[in-house]
Amino acid sequence: MLEADSITWNSYKSGFWKPNSHLCLSSNYWYSEERVHLHQTIVIDDNEDMQVYNIWDKTYTIDEISSILRCVGFEEFEYFSDVTGREYEEETDTITVIAKRK
């Protein structure tokens, strides 16, 4: 069974998920083989209505993202290590891509 990397429980009088009082049970999971992150939030309100929200993030290498962008009509790629335009470094946690549409 996959264990959560982190788990939080929060209660709100109103908030992002609902305008009325509710409880948020949030968990984060990292699937290393697929390089996918799941942020799951379970929202329960005073009426015991429950909604589950799964937010998935996929990580890519430069080669993978370039191939995907070429397949959907982009070319002439520029890569940066953050959104401010810092020069690309191999060990960066963030890849920003500027691509020109064909």
Give pLDDT tens digits for 32-48: 999 999 999 999 999 88
Instruction: Provide DSSP, 13-72.
Output: SS-SS-SS-EEEEEEEEEETTTTEEEEEEEEEETT--EEEEEEEEE---HHHHHHHHHHT
Instruction: Decide the pairing of beta strands 96-101 and 22-31.
Output: unpaired
pTM of the model: 0.72
Chain segment 78-93, per-residue pLDDT in tens: 999 999 999 999 888 8
Domain residue extents for the chain: 6-58, 62-101
